[in-house]
Structure 1
Amino acid sequence: MVVIQYIRFKKQLPEKVFESYMNLLPEKDRQNIRRFLRWQDREAALYGRLLLASGINKYFKDSNLTLHNIYLNEWGRPFFKDSEIDFNISHTDGCVVCIITNEGRVGIDIELIRAIDTEGFQKYMDALQWQEIAGDSSCTSFYKYWTMKESLIKAEGRGLSIPLSDVKIDTKGAAKLYGHRWHLTEVSIDRRYMCHAATDFSIEDGIQILEVFFP
């Protein structure tokens, strides 16, 4: 099973509501969230944890799967200890996504499509990708390849210690990194965003994608 839950938000939560949600989290999560200076970043981090908790509770019944049992590997990637469940969280302006599975490794990346000077990113793309990006004034092609690469890097688990240029994407929605094959899936949430999920397994039964509204 592969589940993606997401939430879109525009306005800052009332302080009492924010604090009531914060009280649902472990102390270490509350401390990390309060370090963010912008309310948008604080609430994105909060929603990420809430999405993970609600997804686990609804789709993956396991008493060991709680926010208190999340650890970080040496590169800072979060994981559940002694569990087959894997997850990943990403956020951009106004949207947070969380992917959860019991089938293998997963990663996800979402970006708001907006104008950007792409010149500095040429070194991360191959020649054909860059040709497509250079001919696309909407920047959609840039965000397509960027979220593909980022989602795979996040799934692999070593983060930015791996150069994005080492991710080799083919024309069939797959990629290779150091000889290992990964599957890439575009996630349709909102036409304002580009989002991709990476898995180290073929998704046979599709992905459940659900928008969540917290009371």
Structure 2
Amino acid sequence: MNYIYCSRIDGLSRERLYSQRHLLDRNQQTTFDQFRFDDDKRRMLLARMLLRYVLTKHEGYQDPHFPYLHYNQYGKPAVMGMMGGFNISHAGVWAVCAYNPLGDIGVDIEKRVPIDIHDYKEVLTTDEFSALMQNNNNVDFFRLWSLKEAIIKADGRGFYLSPITFNLPYPLVNGVGIKVAGKCWHLYSQEIEEEYVLAAASASYKTTVFFLPSDVL
């Protein structure tokens, strides 16, 4: 089972935003301080609040501080001693954290904005680009791209795994599996407030999504 926790940044007051800063480790505080705008700070902090909530709920984490993050050679974050896998993402007013008790998971959230699909031709396979141009099977760019991002993040190599090395299966049905670089990932996606697309990829085919106010984190 995958668990995805979502929260809106506009529920995080400026007072609480800055009162949580000291719970970050030194490197995270530096990153926090480098952001010019409060909304950027909210996105960063709320994602870590969600991660702390996940660890407390699923893995018995008891420290009030945010967990220290380690990164693999490709930049994927991990928490030492964690039994399951997690991944975080944020866009616009949303921050999300996904958890799989059995292992790796990738999550992505994208905000729908006007685009020129030709700008993305180099990061899509020929079949995907053709389907988008012809609107085959009601293919939606943001749903397709968020799923590809989720797979890439679950794999752990980031864009060292090129998005043009695999085609997404059609139709894009929740729970469908795709084999990428020798691993099978089950896919999940849903709309949030019409403007956003949430996607996840993991070895588990069942997913539950929770929406949490920031004051419970």
> Do both proteins adopt the same fold according to a TM-score greater than 0.5, normalized to the shorter chain?
yes
Structure 1 residue 103 displacement after superposition: 1.2
What amino acid is the match of 1:26? D
What amino acid is the match of 2:181? Y
Q: Note the 1:1-215 alignment, pairs <5 A.
A: 1-10=1-10, 13-14=13-14, 16-62=15-61, 67-135=66-134, 141-171=140-170, 173-199=176-202, 201-203=203-205, 206-215=206-215
The TM-score with structure 1 as length reference comes to 0.86
> Using a 3 Å threshold, how does the CA distance of structure 1 residues 38 and 66 change in structure 2: closer, same or farther?
closer
Measure, in 2, the Cα distance between the counterparts of 1:102 and 1:119: 39
The TM-score with structure 2 as length reference comes to 0.85
Give CA deviations for 1:167-193 in whole Å, capped at 9, x if unaligned.
332226332322322111114433211
Deviates more, 1:167-176 or 1:91-100: 167-176
> Using a 3 Å threshold, how does the CA distance of structure 1 residues 65 and 72 change in structure 2: closer, same or farther?
farther
> Using a 3 Å threshold, how does the CA distance of structure 1 residues 63 and 8 change in structure 2: closer, same or farther?
closer
Q: How many residues align?
A: 209
Measure, in 2, the Cα distance between the counterparts of 1:66 and 1:175: 37
Taking only the aligned residue pairs, the percentage that are identical comes to 24
Asked if the contact 1:175/1:181 (under 8 Å) is kept, the reply is yes
Measure, in 1, the Cα distance between the counterparts of 2:79 and 2:118: 38
Measure, in 1, the Cα distance between the counterparts of 2:63 and 2:164: 37
SS across alignment from 2:192: coil
Large movers: runs of 4+ above 4 Å: 62-66
Asked if the contact 1:87/1:101 (under 8 Å) is kept, the reply is yes
> Using a 3 Å threshold, how does the CA distance of structure 1 residues 12 and 97 change in structure 2: closer, same or farther?
closer
In structure 2, list runs of 5 or more residues that go unmatched.
Answer: none
> Using a 3 Å threshold, how does the CA distance of structure 1 residues 71 and 209 change in structure 2: closer, same or farther?
same
Measure, in 1, the Cα distance between the counterparts of 2:65 and 2:23: 11
Measure, in 2, the Cα distance between the counterparts of 1:105 and 1:30: 27
Asked if the contact 1:168/1:177 (under 8 Å) is kept, the reply is no
In structure 1, list runs of 5 or more residues that go unmatched.
Answer: none
